[in-house]
C-alpha cells in the first residue's frame, strides 16, 4: 500500500468557511484589477484611432492633437462608473452571505466611421428647416429696398385717396371649420359687388397648392406658412387691396410676427378671431377631417391633439355659432368703415370722414395770426354779406360743404348745376385745381368726384365788382361792418340767376322764399374764392353754446364713446313721433352690432322762411325733450347745423346728408318730403298750395344718389298717434280707427288754440275739441310751442342764426342788452354831459362855436363800411338812433354795398317839404340835412364831430330835395388837408355821387337824380343851405313837420322839459284838482243838508 502524504488542513480553509471566502474574494479582486489595467491600456491605444471625427465634426480644419492623459482619465471614469460593486456583507458570525455575482461590462466598441452618420442623421424636413432658419437670419447685403413713402413708390395715403379705399389685412384665425372661409366669401361678395371695393382672399388650402406646397404641418412649417402669407398679404394691402387671410395659424407668436411685419411697414392689420367651441366645429366638420381624426387617421390635428392658442387682443371676435353670417359680415364692414378702409381717407377719431376725405377748417385761431389777419382786413376792399351770406360763410369756413373751402368759383358752380357734383383733387396732381381760377380751356382734370348738390355763391352788385377789381384779397363784412373773413384770389363772374334756379329747383315759382331772395335786383355778379375766417363765427343770440364746429362736434361724439353717429334733422319741434323714429333708428343700429350709437339731434340753424318755427323756440323745445328722457342725454348730442334752408326738395336733401358726414355721421334718418314745400304762387301746371315735389321722391333720390359716399340711410314711413296706448308709431291696419294723423299744420293750429290735455277718451277731431292727446309731446315742450303760436306776432324771437351786436357805439350812447343791434327793436339814445337823455336833433347845436362859421357839428349815424340803415328817428322819444325798417317790418340794409362814407346828420336843421329850395325848386324831404363825411377811417355811431364843410350835392329823391353835405373831420388822426372841395380827389367825389344815385336800384327802385346836373356846390353855398334849413327848423313853419302823423315839434317840445319836474307838476295838479273836488263836494253836501232842514222862525 502506497503511502500518501496529506498536509494538515485547517478547518477554516475548507470550502464554505469564512476564511476561504475571503481568500477567494482577494484573488478575484486581484484578477479584476489586472483586467482593469489591461482595459485601460487597450483604450489608450485603440480609442483615439477609432474616433468618428470625420462624421461627427466639421472637417474644414485639422483635428487638434490628442491629449493622452485626458483620454486615459476619461476611460478610467467610464470604467469605474459602469462597473458594479457588490454590497458590503454584514458582519455575521459563521453565517454565509448571499451569493453575489459580479460582472464588469465590457468596454463598448467605438462606432465605426461609416456607421456614425447613420445614427445622428436628421430627416429632410429638419435639414430644410435648419437651412431656412440660417438663411432668414443672415444679413442682407447689396439689397436696395424701395420703402413706402420714397420717391420710388407712391405713399399709402395718396394711393388710398386715389383709388377710394385703404389697404388693410384681415387676419382670420380659428379652428378648422370655425367659419373663416364662409364668412370671408360672404364679405368678399359684399365688398366687391355692393360696395365696389377691390378685395382679395388668401386661403390656407390655396396656398398649399403653390406657395407653401413644400411645407408640412410641423410647428416650424406652420410658422413658415404664416410668414409667407403675411408677406404676401402685406404686398396686397400696400397696393390698396382689402386683403383677407384665412389661416388656422394656431400659434400666437406666429400671428404676432405677422402683425409686427405689418406695423413695421405702416400697413393696417386687423386680427379677427372666429371664436367657435370645438364641439361646434366637430359637428360642422365641412371637410370631414374631424371624423378622420376620430378614427385615428390623422394625428397632430389642431384643437384636438395639437395646440391652438386663441388671440388675446383680437380687434374683432366673432362668435359666429351665435350669429348669422350676414350679421358677422355687418360687423366686419363696420370695423372696416371705422378703420377708413372703405373710403380711403384717414379717420383718426374712428368716425366717418367728410366728403372728399379732407377735414376742412378755415378758422384762424392762433392769436398772433388772427391779429395779423384782422389788421390786413382793414386795408382790403370790402364785400358786404347778408344774413344768408353769413350762414353760407359759416358752412364753408367750418367744413360743412367739404371739400369746398370757400364760395364757389364759376367752374365749380357749373359742375354743381349740371352734375350735382364737383371734381376734387386731394393730391394736387392738377396744379391746385381746387383753388385755381376757372380756366375754360383746361384739358386735364382730376378723376375724383364728390357730391355738390346745391350752389353756394356770393352775389354782389356791379358797384362791388368794380370796387374789388384787381384785388388779391377782399374782406367779407357783416351788417355792422365787422370783417368776418378774408377771401383770397377772388374770381368775379356773371351770375346767371335763372339758370341757377331752374337747375337747382327744377320749377318756376318766383314767390318761392329762397328763389325770391335770389331774384332780388342788382346783384348780377358773384365772387368766388377760398376763405379764411377771422375767428369762429358767433351770433350772440343766446344759442352759441349749441353751435359746434365740425371738429368740436366730432369730439363731443367721441366723449360719449360713440362707435357710430346717426343724424336727425329737424326744422320743427320734436313730438313723440319724431322721438319714436330716433329711438327706433338707434335700435336698428344696435341690431347691426353697434355698441354705442349716438344721435345727433340737428336743428337747422340758418335762414328759414318767415312761417317756420323760430330757431330759439325749437332749441328750447328740444332741451325739454332731452330733459324728460325722451331722447336721453347719454346718447344724444344737440348741435345746430348752420346751413340756410333753400327748400329745394330732393336736391337739397342730398346736401343735408352729405354735410352731416363732416360732423362724423354715418347714418342719416330721412322721412317723407324732406326739404319740400308747397308752391307760393300759381303757375303753368300748378296752383298755389300744391306740393312742389312728390313726398316720396326726396327720400328715394337720397337713398339712390350716386354721390352719397359712405353715408347710409334709415328711412321711415308716416307715424300716427295710437289712441289705445298713447304713443306715436306706425299704423296697425288691423285697428285703423285707433290711429290719428297729427300733421304739422294740425299741431300748429292746436298750439295757437292753447290746446289742453285731452280727456281719457281721445276724440278723433282734436281741433274741434281743442285738446292735445297725452304722450304726443313732452308737456313743457308743448308749453313752449304753444306760447310761440299764441304770441307769434308780438313775441321777441330768434327766427334763425342772425348776428346780433357788433355795432360800435360812442361813449355818449346807451342801448339795451335785450334789444341789441341786429334786432328790429334796436334803440340807442343820446345822453349829455350830465347823463341826462337829450335829442341829437334838437338839443345839440348846429355850430361848434360861433367863431368858426365854416364848421358844423356832425352826428354819426352809419359808420363807413356798415350796411345796416341806422338813423335818428323823428317820431320816437328823444330822436333815438334806431334801425330803419322796410314796409314789411324787416330791418333795412344797404343791399347795393356798405356805406362808402361816414353817414349822418347835422342838428337843428330841417328840410321843409313845403319850402321850395332855391337850387332845385323842390320841397325838402322832411329830415335834417344829411352829411357825407369823406374821411378814410370810420366814425362811431352816435359820435359828435367837428367837421369842415367842403360842399354839397343836391340829391333829388322821389321828387324831394335831399341835400348831402360833403365834409371832412379835421380832428381825426388821419385827417386829409382838405380845405375846399377842389382839394378832394375827383374820383372820390365821383364814387360818392354814383353810389347815392344807384344805391336803391338793388331794391328794385329807380336811380335817384341830382339837381344842378349833379355838380356839387362849393363850401360857401353849402353853408348857406345849412343856415337856411336851420332857420326853417327854428321858424314858424316847423309846425308843418310830422312823421307818421306825429308832429316833430310836439315831440321836441315834450323832450325839452324835465320829465321828473313835469311829473311832479302833473301830480301836483292832480292833487289840487282832487282837493278842489273834495271841497266842492263838501260844500254841495252842506247846501243840500241846509236846504232839507226846517227854516227857523224869526
- The number of residues making up the chain comes to 1098
910, 924 contact by CB (below 8 A): yes
Which H/E stretch holds residue 37? helix 18-50
Q: Give the CA-trace dihedral at 956, 958, 960, 962, to 10 degrees.
A: -50
d(CA 258, CA 227): 7
Residue 431 CB contacts under 8 Å (≥ 6 apart), including other chains: none
Q: What is the pLDDT of residue 212?
A: 82
Q: What is the per-residue pLDDT for 27?
A: 75
Which ranges constitute the DSSP H helices of 363-491?
A: 367-378, 387-397, 410-419, 462-467
Global pTM reads 0.78
Instruction: Specify the DSSP class assigned to residue 189.
Output: H
Tell me the three cell numbers of residue 166: 385703404
676-705 pLDDT per residue, tens: 888 999 988 888 889 999 888 888 888 888
The answer to whether the beta carbons of residues 953 and 993 sit under 8 Å apart is: yes
Q: Please, is 51 exposed, middle or buried when counting C-beta atoms within 10 Å of its C-beta (0-12, 13-18, 19+)?
A: middle
Residue 447: C-alpha distances to residues 238, 424, 854, 998 (Å) = 21, 7, 68, 46
CB atoms under 10 Å from CB of 963, counted, come to 27
What's the CA gap between 267 and 260, in Å, rounded? 10
How far is Cα 862 from Cα 898, in angstroms, rounded to an integer?
A: 10
Q: Annotated active-site positions, please?
A: 249
Which of the 8 DSSP states describes residue 59?
A: -
Which is nearest to 823 in space by CA: 815, 831, 834?
815
Q: Are 604 and 571 in contact (CB under 8 A)?
A: yes
Tally of CB atoms within 10 A around 1090: 9
Residues of the chain with pLDDT under 70: 1-21, 28, 40-124, 135, 138-154, 346-349, 427-434, 709, 1036-1098
- The residues, ordered by sequence, that sit 6+ positions from 398 with a Cβ below 8 Å of its Cβ are 360, 361, 362, 363, 533, 537, 549, 550, 642
Q: How far is CA 507 from CA 452, 519, 611, in A?
A: 19, 14, 21
Hey, is 372 helix, strand or coil? helix
Q: Which three cell numbers stand for residue 60?
A: 474644414
Q: In angstroms, what CA-CA distances link 511 with 220, 461, 606?
A: 79, 22, 20
Beta bridge partner(s), residue 668: 567, 713
Residue in this structure with the C-alpha cell 328759414, named with its chain if needed: 608
Q: Are 574 and 781 in contact (CB under 8 A)?
A: yes
Residue 944 to residue 964: CA distance in whole angstroms: 17
User: Are 182 and 193 contacting, i.e. CB atoms less than 8 angstroms apart?
Assistant: no
How many whole angstroms separate alpha carbon 663 and alpha carbon 351? 9
pLDDT at 116: 46
What pLDDT was estimated at residue 977?
86
Is there a cis peptide before residue 403, judged by omega within 30 degrees of 0?
yes
Strand runs labelled E in 585-674: 597-603, 636-638, 667-670
Amino acid at each position: 500500500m502506497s503511502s500518501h502524504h496529506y498536509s494538515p488542513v485547517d478547518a477554516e480553509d475548507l470550502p464554505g468557511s469564512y476564511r476561504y471566502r475571503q481568500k477567494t474574494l482577494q484573488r478575484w479582486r486581484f484578477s479584476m484589477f489586472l483586467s482593469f489595467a489591461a482595459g485601460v491600456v487597450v483604450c489608450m491605444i485603440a480609442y483615439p484611432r477609432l474616433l468618428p471625427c470625420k462624421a461627427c465634426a466639421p472637417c474644414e480644419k485639422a483635428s487638434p492633437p490628442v491629449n493622452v492623459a485626458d483620454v486615459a482619465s476619461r476611460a478610467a471614469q467610464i470604467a469605474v462608473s459602469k462597473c458594479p460593486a457588490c454590497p458590503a456583507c454584514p458582519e455575521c458570525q459563521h453565517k454565509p452571505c448571499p451569493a453575489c455575482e459580479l460582472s464588469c461590462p465590457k468596454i463598448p466598441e467605438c462606432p465605426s466611421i461609416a456607421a456614425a452618420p447613420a445614427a445622428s442623421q436628421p430627416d429632410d424636413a429638419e435639414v430644410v428647416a435648419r437651412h431656412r432658419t440660417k438663411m432668414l437670419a443672415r444679413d442682407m447685403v447689396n439689397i436696395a429696398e424701395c420703402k413706402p413713402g420714397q420717391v420710388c413708390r407712391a405713399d399709402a395715403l395718396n394711393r388710398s385717396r386715389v383709388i377710394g379705399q385703404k389697404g388693410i389685412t384681415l387676419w382670420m384665425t380659428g379652428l378648422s371649420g370655425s367659419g373663416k372661409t364662409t364668412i370671408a366669401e360672404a364679405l368678399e361678395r359684399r365688398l366687391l359687388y355692393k360696395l365696389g371695393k377691390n378685395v382679395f382672399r388668401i386661403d390656407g388650402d390655396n396656398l398649399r397648392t403653390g406657395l407653401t406646397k413644400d411645407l408640412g404641418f410641423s410647428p416650424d412649417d406652420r410658422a413658415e406658412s404664416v410668414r409667407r402669407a403675411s408677406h404676401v398679404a402685406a404686398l396686397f394691402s400696400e397696393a390698396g387691396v382689402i386683403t383677407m387671410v384665412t389661416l388656422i395659424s394656431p400659434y400666437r407668436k406666429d400671428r404676432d410676427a405677422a402683425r409686427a411685419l405689418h406695423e413695421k411697414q405702416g400697413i393696417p392689420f386687423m386680427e379677427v378671431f372666429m371664436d367657435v367651441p370645438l364641439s361646434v366645429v366637430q359637428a360642422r366638420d365641412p371637410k370631414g377631417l374631424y371624423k378622420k381624426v376620430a378614427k385615428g387617421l390623422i394625428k397632430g390635428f389642431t384643437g384636438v391633439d395639437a395646440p391652438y392658442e386663441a388671440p388675446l387682443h383680437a380687434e374683432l371676435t366673432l362668435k359666429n355659432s351665435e350669429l348669422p353670417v350676414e350679421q358677422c359680415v355687418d360687423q366686419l364692414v363696420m370695423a372696416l368703415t371705422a378703420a377708413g378702409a372703405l373710403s380711403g381717407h384717414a379717420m383718426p377719431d374712428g368716425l366717418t370722414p367728410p366728403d372728399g376725405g379732407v377735414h376742412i377748417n378755415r378758422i384762424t385761431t392762433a392769436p398772433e395770426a388772427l391779429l395779423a389777419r384782422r389788421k390786413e382786413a382793414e386795408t382790403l376792399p370790402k364785400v358786404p354779406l347778408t344774413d344768408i351770406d353769413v350762414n353760407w360763410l359759416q358752412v364753408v369756413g367750418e367744413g360743412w360743404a367739404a371739400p369746398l373751402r370757400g364760395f364757389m368759383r364759376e367752374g365749380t358752380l357749373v359742375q354743381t348745376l349740371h352734375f350735382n357734383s364737383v371734381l376734387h383733387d386731394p393730391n394736387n396732381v392738377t396744379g391746385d385745381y381746387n383753388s385755381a381760377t376757372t380756366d375754360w380751356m383746361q384739358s386735364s382734370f382730376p378723376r375724383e368726384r364728390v357730391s355738390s348738390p346745391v350752389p353756394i355763391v356770393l352775389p354782389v352788385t356791379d358797384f362791388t365788382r368794380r370796387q374789388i377789381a384787381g384785388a388779391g384779397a377782399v374782406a367779407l363784412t357783416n351788417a355792422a361792418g365787422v370783417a368776418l373773413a378774408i377771401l383770397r384770389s377772388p374770381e368775379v363772374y356773371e351770375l346767371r340767376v335763372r339758370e341757377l334756379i331752374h337747375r337747382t329747383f327744377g320749377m318756376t315759382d318766383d314767390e318761392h322764399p329762397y328763389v325770391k331772395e335770389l331774384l332780388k335786383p342788382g346783384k348780377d355778379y358773384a365772387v368766388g374764392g377760398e376763405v379764411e375766417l377771422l375767428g369762429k363765427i358767433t351770433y350772440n343770440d343766446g344759442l352759441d353754446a349749441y353751435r359746434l364746429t365740425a371738429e368740436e362736434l366730432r369730439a363731443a361724439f367721441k366723449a360719449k364713446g360713440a362707435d357710430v353717429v346717426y343724424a336727425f334733422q329737424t326744422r320743427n319741434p320734436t313730438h313723440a313721433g319724431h322721438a319714436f323714429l330716433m329711438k327706433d333708428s338707434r335700435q336698428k343700429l344696435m341690431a347691426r352690432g353697434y355698441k354705442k350709437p349716438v344721435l345727433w339731434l340737428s336743428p337747422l340753424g340758418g335762414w328759414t322762411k318767415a312761417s317756420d318755427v323760430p330757431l330759439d323756440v325749437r332749441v328750447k323745445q328740444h332741451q325739454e325733450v332731452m330733459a324728460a328722457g325722451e331722447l336721453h342725454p347719454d346718447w344724444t348730442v344737440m348741435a345746430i347745423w348752420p346751413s340756410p334752408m333753400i327748400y329745394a326738395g330732393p336736391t337739397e336733401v342730398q346736401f343735408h346728408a352729405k354735410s352731416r358726414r363732416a360732423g362724423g355721421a354715418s347714418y342719416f334718418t330721412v322721412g317723407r318730403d324732406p326739404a319740400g314745400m308747397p308752391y307760393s304762387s300759381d303757375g303753368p301746371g300748378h296752383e298755389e298750395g300744391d306740393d312742389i315735389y312728390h313726398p316720396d321722391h326726396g327720400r328715394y333720390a337720397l337713398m339712390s344718389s350716386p354721390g352719397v359716399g359712405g353715408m347710409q340711410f334709415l328711412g321711415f314711413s308716416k307715424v300716427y298717434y295710437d289712441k289705445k296706448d298713447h304713443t306715436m308709431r306706425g299704423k296697425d291696419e288691423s285697428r285703423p280707427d285707433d290711429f290719428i294723423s297729427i300733421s304739422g299744420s294740425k299741431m300748429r293750429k292746436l298750439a295757437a288754440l292753447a290746446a289742453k290735455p285731452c280727456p281719457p277718451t281721445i276724440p278723433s277731431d282734436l281741433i274741434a275739441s281743442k285738446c292735445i292727446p297725452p304722450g304726443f309731446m313732452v308737456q313743457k315742450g308743448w308749453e313752449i310751442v304753444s306760447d310761440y303760436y299764441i304770441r307769434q306776432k308780438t313775441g321777441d324771437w330768434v327766427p334763425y342764426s342772425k348776428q346780433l351786436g357788433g355795432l360800435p357805439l360812442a361813449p355818449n350812447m346807451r342801448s339795451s342788452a335785450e334789444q341789441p343791434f341786429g334786432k328790429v327793436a334796436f334803440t340807442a339814445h343820446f345822453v349829455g354831459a350830465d347823463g341826462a337823455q337829450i335829442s341829437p336833433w334838437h338839443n345839440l347845436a348846429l355850430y361848434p362855436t360861433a367863431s368858426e362859421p365854416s364848421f358844423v357839428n356832425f352826428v354819426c349815424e352809419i359808420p363807413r363800411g356798415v350796411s345796416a340803415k341806422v338813423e335818428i328817428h323823428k317820431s320816437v322819444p328823444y330822436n333815438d338812433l334806431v334801425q330803419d325798417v322796410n314796409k314789411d317790418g324787416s330791418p333795412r340794409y344797404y343791399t347795393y354795398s356798405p356805406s362808402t362814407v361816414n353817414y349822418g346828420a347835422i342838428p337843428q336843421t330841417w328840410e321843409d317839404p313845403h319850402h321850395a329850395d332855391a337850387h332845385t325848386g323842390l320841397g325838402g324831404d322832411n329830415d335834417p340835412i344829411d352829411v357825407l363825411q369823406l374821411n378814410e377811417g370810420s366814425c362811431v355811431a352816435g359820435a359828435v364831430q367837428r367837421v369842415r364843410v367842403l360842399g354839397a350835392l343836391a340829391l333829388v329823391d322821389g321828387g324831394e330835395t335831399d341835400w348831402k353835405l360833403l365834409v371832412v373831420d379835421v380832428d381825426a388822426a388821419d385827417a386829409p388837408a382838405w380845405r375846399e372841395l377842389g382839394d378832394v380827389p375827383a374820383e372820390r367825389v365821383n364814387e360818392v355821387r354814383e353810389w347815392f344815385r344807384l344805391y336803391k336800384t338793388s331794391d328794385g327802385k329807380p336811380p335817384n337824380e341830382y339837381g344842378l346836373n349833379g355838380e356839387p356846390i362849393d363850401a360857401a353855398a353849402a353853408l348857406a343851405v345849412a343856415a337856411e334849413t336851420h332857420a326853417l327848423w327854428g321858424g314858424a313853419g316847423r309846425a308843418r313837420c310830422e312823421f307818421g302823423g306825429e308832429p316833430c315839434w310836439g315831440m321836441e317840445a315834450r323832450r325839452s322839459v324835465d320829465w321828473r319836474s313835469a311829473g311832479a307838476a302833473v301830480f301836483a295838479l292832480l292833487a289840487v284838482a282832487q282837493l278842489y273836488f273834495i271841497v266842492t263836494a263838501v260844500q254841495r253836501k252842506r247846501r243840500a243838508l241846509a236846504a232839507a232842514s226846517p227854516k227857523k222862525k224869526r
